Amino acid sequence: MKKMKGVLLEASAIDKGDISWEELSEHVDLTIYENTTERNKFEHIGDAEVIFDNKVIIDEEVFRKCPNIKYVGVCATGYNVVDITAARKRNITVTNVPAYSTDSVVQLTWALILEQTCNLELHNQSVKNGDWINSEIFCYWLKPISELSGKTLGIIGYGNIGKKVATIAKSFGMNIIVNTDHPEKYSEENINFVDKDEIFAKSDIITLHCPLTEDTKDIIRKENIDKMKNGVRIVNVSRGGLVRENDLADALNSGKVLSAGVDVVVTEPMSEDNPLLDAENIIITPHIGWASIDARKRLVDEIIKNYKAFINNEKRNVVN
């Protein structure tokens, strides 16, 4: 069977020289682009029948200008970059890759929480600057170190990631409260489900693991921050749009929010005028929660399985 013509639009987002595309190329006549922007996406897609995409917007205009498209393989879990209605209208199959990065994102969540409570990098740099050598006593600390045991962790969103975050929180002896849209689905689990206002009021640490929807957009904003405990900590490894960045920056600078850790921002790559860049007591990582070598290899394996199912007229992770 003749291979369909395909394009991989953003290889460098997945591959840093440690990922192979050879197996995928066995099934599709593949052109690999290291990166694709909104300016050159029409040129890169051209007459391709198959698109492997991550963050490039694939909308009605793309389908109209590139009429050969038959398949869009989203190289991620979220597929909001594709106009699903327009794809369905044209009988274009769209797939995604769910749950491939769960363990990686959970790990980063706890790295951000532990860094905020243990201040490891601050003390590491202090030691390397000679402060311990010059200390008159055997130990010192530059900022308070907090135990997690007995603290309340508020989890917003209870999918695969939220569940694993909760499991680890139990091992630390934390109190766990969860907000999710459909708590009735988890009635057999020993979890205290509450509304958002109770999350805001009772949590010592709030961590976000929910999708970006009209209901969750700007969920971390002044109105809700004002309901929180003084000295609350916040983690966002989900979507940048869950946070109103000016409001979080103000709360960090005032001390209302003691610290924060974010792996995502509203505009990515981050803009130089983002207010979080100069905010106090915030850790910012460049959207790396999904990017462990293990998760990226799983991602590519799933991309291949999705496409092989498509060419065999089977449905696998089809979202439309």
287 in catalytic set: yes
Average pLDDT over residues 290-317: 98
- Which pLDDT score, from 0 to 100, does residue 190 have? 85
Catalytic residue (one of 44, 239, 244, 296): 239
Average pLDDT over residues 7-25: 97
Catalytic residue (one of 244, 287, 296, 298): 287
- Which pLDDT score, from 0 to 100, does residue 186 have? 87
Share of the chain above pLDDT 70, in %: 100
Catalytic residue (one of 60, 61, 223, 268): 268
How far apart are alpha carbons 163 and 59 in whole angstroms? 33
Q: Model's pTM, two decimal places? A: 0.93
- Which pLDDT score, from 0 to 100, does residue 209 have? 97
Q: Is the pLDDT of residue 255 over 80?
A: yes
In which band, very low, low, confident or very high, does the pLDDT at 13 lie, cut at 50, 70 and 90?
A: very high
Helices 102-118 and 160-171: crossing angle, nearest 10°? 40
Average pLDDT over residues 295-311: 98
Share of the chain above pLDDT 90, in %: 96
- Which pLDDT score, from 0 to 100, does residue 66 have? 98
Tokens 């970059």 sit on residue: 81
- Which pLDDT score, from 0 to 100, does residue 318 have? 98
Least confident of 79-93, 140-154, 180-194, 226-240: 180-194
CB 137 within 8 A of CB 162: no
In which band, very low, low, confident or very high, does the pLDDT at 305 lie, cut at 50, 70 and 90?
A: very high
The string of pLDDT tens digits covering residues 146-158 is: 999 999 999 999 9
Least confident of 67-76, 186-195, 273-282: 186-195
How far apart are alpha carbons 61 and 42 in whole angstroms? 9
In which band, very low, low, confident or very high, does the pLDDT at 216 lie, cut at 50, 70 and 90?
A: very high
268 in catalytic set: yes
The string of pLDDT tens digits covering residues 224-244 is: 999 999 999 999 999 999 999
The string of pLDDT tens digits covering residues 42-69 is: 999 999 999 999 999 999 999 999 999 9
- Which pLDDT score, from 0 to 100, does residue 189 have? 77
- Which pLDDT score, from 0 to 100, does residue 187 have? 75
Average pLDDT over residues 128-145: 97
